Amino acid sequence: MGKTNWRNFDFWLLGSVALLTVFGITMIRSSIAGNIELMQANLVQRQLIFAVLGFVVVFVVASIDYHLWSAISRPIYLITAIVLAVLTIAGQALYGSARWFDTGVILIQPSELAKIVVILVLADYFTRHHEQINDLRWIARSLVYTLGIVTWIILQPNLSTSLVILVIWFALLWASGLRIRYLLAFFGLAPLIPLIAFPFLQEYQQKRILNFIFPEQGASYGESYNIQQALISIGSGGWFGQGYGQGTQVQLRFLKVRWSDFIFSVISNELGLVGAILTMLLIIFVILRCLRAARIARDTFGALIAYGVATLIAFQAMVNIGVNLNLLPATGLTLPFVSYGGSSLLSLLVGVGLVESVVLRFKSLEF
C-alpha cells in the first residue's frame, strides 16, 4: 500500500475541475434566467448541492488508498448490477422506463456511477490478468463483465451511457497492451455495431439517427429543430459572444435543453468563440492531468484507473460538443463538469478523487 503524502496532491487538477464546475453553474443560471418553471425547479441550487457534495467526496476518495478498490471491486460490481437490474425491471413495470431513483429531494442516476464502477472493475481485471493480454478468452471474459452492466443500462433505455462504458472497455484494453492486429480487428467491426443495434433501438433513438443522416426529414419541430437552433446559437455568438445573460437564442428560449445537452451552444452564444475555446482548453487540461497521473502511477492498477477517468471525460466532451456542432446524432451525454446533471457531476468528481488517490501515493508533484 502506498503512503499518503498530501504534498503530492494535484492542485492543478482540482483547481481546473473547480473552475469548470463553478463556470458550469454560472452558465446554467444564465440558461434558465427568466424561465419561471425552471427557476422554481431549483436547478442551480441542486447543481450547487451536488458540487459541494462532490468536492467533499474528492477529498474522501483521495484519502483512501486506491488499492482498497481492487479488493472490493467484485462486491461493488455485483451491487451495481443488482441496483441497475431492480431499477430497470421495476421502472419498466411501473412507468415504461426508468433511469433515476427519486429520493424525494434529488434524483440519483445509478448508471452514471456505474461508469466509475466499470473503470475500477476492468482496471482490476486487466491488472490481474496482464500476462493473458492477447488471449481471446481473456478479452471475451472482460467483455462479459462489461456487458453485465451495459445490458441493464441499454434496457432502461440509455444507449449513450452504454456506449461510454463500451468505449472505456476498449480504451483500457488498448492501454493494457492489446496487440495491434486485435485493435485493427475491433476497428473493422466497429462500423457494424450501429447497423446491428439499430432495429433494437427505441423509436426516439432511431429518429435521432435518421434525423442526423436525413436532416431534411426532421426539419419540423423536433431533433432537427434544436440542432438548427444550436448551430444558429454558435454562429451568432461571433468572436466574443452577445454577453452573459444577453444571448438572444438562449434568453428568448429558441434553444431547448440549453442547461444540459446544449450548454456548449449557450457558451458559444453568450461568450463567443473565445469562450468556447477556453472551455475546451480547460477540459483538455483536466484530461492531460489525468493522463499524467496514469504516467506516474506506481503500478498498473493505478495507471488504468487514471487512464479510464481520462477516457470518460474525453469521450463525453467530444460527443457533447460534436452533437452541438451537428457532427454526431443527439445522444444526451453531458459536457463534463459544465452541463446540468447532479449524478453526472458527482460521478466525475468521484473519478477525480480516484485520480488524486493515485497521485498522492507516488512521488513529489511535477508539472
267-317 pLDDT per residue, tens = 999 999 999 999 999 999 999 999 999 999 989 999 999 999 999 999 999
* 363, pLDDT greater than 70: no
pLDDT at residue 130 in the model:
76
Question: What residues form DSSP beta bridges with 116?
Answer: none
Closest CA to 170 of 142, 201, 128: 142
pLDDT tens-digit profile of 131-174? 777 677 888 888 899 999 988 888 877 788 888 999 999 899 88
Closest CA to 246 of 83, 33, 28: 33
Closest CA to 249 of 222, 276, 275, 267: 267
Count up the domains in the chain and report the number.
1
Question: Is residue 367, in this structure, part of any structural domain at all?
Answer: no
Question: Is residue 54, in this structure, part of any structural domain at all?
Answer: yes
Question: Is residue 334, in this structure, part of any structural domain at all?
Answer: yes
Question: Is residue 180, in this structure, part of any structural domain at all?
Answer: yes
Question: Is residue 12, in this structure, part of any structural domain at all?
Answer: yes
Least confident of 134-138, 324-328, 349-353: 134-138
Closest CA to 17 of 345, 321, 307, 320: 345
Least confident of 25-29, 37-41, 307-311: 37-41
State the angle between helix axes of 73-94 and 136-154 in degrees (0 to 180), rounded to the nearest 10. 40
Alpha-carbon distance of 208 to 159, in angstroms, equals: 12
Alpha-carbon distance of 171 to 166, in angstroms, equals: 9
Question: Is residue 99, in this structure, part of any structural domain at all?
Answer: yes
pLDDT at residue 233 in the model:
92
CB atoms under 10 Å from CB of 298, counted, come to 14
Over range 242-261, report the average pLDDT. 88
Evaluate the omega torsion of the peptide bond into residue 157 and state whether it is cis, within 30 degrees of 0.
yes
Question: Is residue 53, in this structure, part of any structural domain at all?
Answer: yes
Quick one: what percent of the chain has pLDDT higher than 70? 78
Question: Is residue 366, in this structure, part of any structural domain at all?
Answer: no
Over range 244-260, report the average pLDDT. 87
CA quadruple 197, 86, 308, 337: dihedral sign: positive
pTM of the model: 0.88
CA dihedral 207, 210, 212, 217 (to 10 degrees): -90
Owning domain of residue 295: 6-360
Over range 193-218, report the average pLDDT. 59
